[in-house]
Structure 1
Amino acid sequence: MRLRKKWWARPELEESVFFVSDAKQLKGKWNEKFKNNNDIYLELGCGRGGFVSQAAVKYPNKNFVAVDLKDEVLVYVLRKIEEIEVENIRLTAMNIMGINEVFDKGEVKRIFINFCNPWPKERHKKRRLTHTKFLTYYKEFIEQGTQIWFKTDDDELFEESIEYFKESGFELKYLTRDLHNDDFEDNIVTEYEAKFTERGIKIKFLIAELL
């Protein structure tokens, strides 16, 4: 479903200290924006911010950069983080294909990809955020030992993503095809995750570490 254009969204975002209008200008300078040297965690495709807002509260000594394409989505994330009064989140609107131009090598310590579009058609699979094409972009700014945490409800996307990570020089440190019945204790439930679980859909999750 396409979002209706909300012309008021961008002005509201740009009035906030939490929004970064041109993320490329902060390459190598994100800690200056946060005014500390805490590790930076990146969420790709943050949706309405259920995950990143919870994560920022749970980990106050980490900095979070949340990325999505649409102002119409990010404005709701902004309202959520203003409501919970956290200071360790920054938002930016951009096409994730350009994410390698936003961070210096080693600037991001962890990447989260939660319930991204599965792009099931063969001709569209290169658009997946876990595809080897995108993993190549991420490897331009992450270092050995950096982890990508990936969650999905989609079986095919998950199984094929396992191969993408292996092909791209990542080691799988954790893998489950039924997260909510596993022993993983550090899970943050997203909006989609709650809906899928309620419908009896098993949540797939893995942690891939760059070798």
Structure 2
Amino acid sequence: MRFRNKPWAAEYIAEHSYYCILGPENRKGKWHEVFGNEHPIHIEVGTGKGTFITEMAKANPHINYIGIELFESVVVKALERAVVANVPNVKLLNVNAEKLTEYFDKNEVDRVYLNFSDPWPKKRHAKRRLTYKTFLDLYKSVLVPKGEIHFKTDNRGLFEFSLMSFSEYGLLLNYVSLDLHNSDYEGNIMTEYEEKFSSKGFPIYRCEVQYKE
């Protein structure tokens, strides 16, 4: 996927370092100090334009949210949204999720959200999927014991792959929906992609899984 370059993005990020944390490797093990409280920390890997994480933060002021986004031209849109919303329990990181352990300590994160991740449909690219076993290892290394992953996608192939990956890893399946918007699930907050795909009639798949220890 190609993103339009935003020459002003770096400067905007630097000007709003309260929300988009610079040098996050220096905050490892200190995120509760960054937020100034001991509330649970939930991270979204691939936060996109920030609708989900910002709305979650507004709905749950007792939870701290950290959005992780690789692309500067995308994270700056999430940053604009966070600035307008003026929610103190949101922070953003413009980093690669593959280096998660450089930014978070063991047992520092309570929940991981994976929303509409790149499906990497070709079989040879399976290792790049955010629900592949190496990523599950990565999440486990920063999550509290019995930490959770909440996963949403419109891609049935990725959903089936992910359920299999979770099962093979030994994760507990606490919730699954093959059509979220026509289910009895309450409190769903949509992402930008979710609004787009659901408006076209595509079913949204969702599951919640938990590490056994």
> What band does the TM-score fall into relative to the shorter chain?
over 0.9
Paired position in structure 2 for 1:2: 2
Q: Does 1:15 align with 2:19?
A: no
1:88-118 CA deviation, whole Å, 9 max, x = no partner?
1111111111012211111111110000000
Partner of 2:111: 110
TM-aligned CA deviation for residue 82 of structure 1: 1.1
1:59 aligns with 2:60: yes
> What is the distance in 2 between the residues matched to 1:143 and 1:41?
11
Specify the SS of the correspondent of 2:6.
Answer: coil
Deviation at 1:186, TM superposition (A): 2.5
Q: Which secondary structure state, in structure 1, belongs to the residue aligned with residue 142 of structure 2? A: coil
Name the counterpart of 2:211: 210
Count of residue pairs brought into register by the alignment: 211
Q: Which moved more, 1:117-126 or 1:18-27?
A: 18-27
Give the match's secondary structure for 1:146. strand
Name the amino acid aligned to 2:14: E
One-letter code aligned to 2:51 = G
Alpha-carbon distance in structure 1 between the residues aligned to 2:13 and 2:38 = 25
Question: Alpha-carbon deviations, 1:38-94, whole Å to 9, x = none?
Answer: 110100000000100100100011100000001111111111111111111111111
Letter in 2 for 1:64: Y
Within 5 Å, which residues of 2 pair with 1:114-153? 114-153=115-154
Rounded Cα–Cα distance in structure 1 between residues aligned with 2:169 and 2:15: 40
Shift of 1:29: 0.2
The residue identity in structure 2 corresponding to 1:46 is: T
Runs of 4+ with >3 A deviation: none
Report if the CA contact (8 A) 1:143-1:210 is conserved: no
CA contact (8 A) 1:152 1:158 kept: yes
**Residue in structure 2 matched with residue 158 of structure 1 by the alignment:** 159
CA distance in 1, matches of 2:104, 2:187: 26
1:99 aligns with 2:100: yes
Gaps of 5+ in 1: none
Answer whether contact 1:136 1:168 (CA < 8 A) is retained: no
Q: SS state of the match for residue 32, structure 2?
A: helix
Separation in 1 of the partners of 2:94 and 2:84? 20
SS in 2 for 1:97: helix
Q: Identity over aligned residues, as a percent?
A: 40
